Amino acid sequence: MTYSIVSFHPHDGSLGFAAQSHFFAVGSVVGDAEAGVGVVVSQAFANTDWPHEGLSLLRAGATPDDVLEALIAGDPLADYRQAIVMDATGAYACFTGGSCAPHTGVARGEGVAAAGNMLASDEVCRAMVAAHDGHGEPGDHGDPESASTHARRLVRALLAGERAGGDARGSQSAVVKVVDGVRGERPWRHVLADIRVDDHADPVRELRRLLPVHEGFRTIGAALFAPPLVIGDPSGIAAADAREMVEALTAAAAGLGGNSEADLWRAVILLRCGEFDAGGTLLAELTSARPQLREFARGLERVGILPRAEVRP
């Protein structure tokens, strides 16, 4: 009841998967990825234990073939399942049980595999792999090699699957998740993208719309959660770091449309590093458009995030 694609990005070692289904919140059940470990997707009449058990086996050093063999052997209903297992090197194994509802399909490439069931066409999986590898929707071929490129490739592949017929029952939910290639004790720190559309008339296109929003808010998060740009002692702000983040937030704002969050924190950083004219002008523009921000700014002054207005020149 789902189609998915799993891939490895050799430039940075990132791993990812994307999926679409006519089922509510497919991202909560279809699979998972762990940085430096691998990806496991379980679908059709899915066994939702398989992603967790499969990642545990990969973590312990099992190969993708070994993982599939163990999962299938431990499940008397495995014939109704479909799965892809990929390790941290991009090696993978695929399985489609004989009792999965047709059309079923699997397509393979170098470091990429797609699988689906209940498909409207047996072309869906081949179309996804071709699009992921740069032979589908035009416009992305010149993207720099990056984690955001990886996520866009995966979503582009889903769009190609939709154009080839997609799920025979229609569309309802979609997910894309990308993790980096660094294995560690805190894998949640290595998630580069985790975007879910749980219930939407066109979930894959909604994923595509959300990607630049996600990228913009990753920049905002980098400013908010890395002291001393926004929190901590502003005397420790390096001028070069401030300039770099202000430029990054300016670029992020351009991709966020009418969302002013990047501009707000750009104003805060400018004020914290003593750029009172530029920061004050930007903050005034923001408060003019949204008067509620005036009290918010006073609150930031009270807790020491913003310098008090009376001490600004």
Q: In what order do the strands lie in the sheet with 14-21?
A: 105-109, 112-116, 2-9, 14-21, 173-179, 191-197
Beta-carbon-side half-sphere exposure of residue 229 (alpha carbons within 13 Å):
22
Do 177 and 259 have their domain in common?
no
Do 197 and 294 have their domain in common?
no
133 phi, psi to nearest 5 deg:
-85, 5
How many structural domains does the chain have?
2
Per-residue pLDDT, 257: 85
Query: Which among 7, 33, 30, 32 is positioned nearest to 19, based on CA atoms?
Result: 30
- Does a structural domain hold residue 152? yes
CATH for 177: 3.60.20.10
Final residue before a domain boundary, out of 145, 179, 211: 211
CB 37 within 8 A of CB 56: no
- Does a structural domain hold residue 219? no
pLDDT at 82 over 90: yes
Do 125 and 265 have their domain in common?
no
pLDDT at 143 over 80: no
Do 279 and 130 have their domain in common?
no
Looking at residues 165-187, what average pLDDT do you find? 95
- pLDDT bin (cut points 50, 70, 90) of residue 136 is very low
Do 46 and 92 have their domain in common?
yes
Do 43 and 91 have their domain in common?
yes
Final residue before a domain boundary, out of 160, 188, 211: 211
Instruction: Express as a percent the part of the chain with pLDDT over 70.
Output: 95
Final residue before a domain boundary, out of 188, 211, 234: 211
Range of the domain at 168: 2-211
- pLDDT bin (cut points 50, 70, 90) of residue 153 is very high
Do 141 and 75 have their domain in common?
yes
Helix, strand or coil for residue 27?
Answer: helix
Q: What is the pTM of this model?
A: 0.90
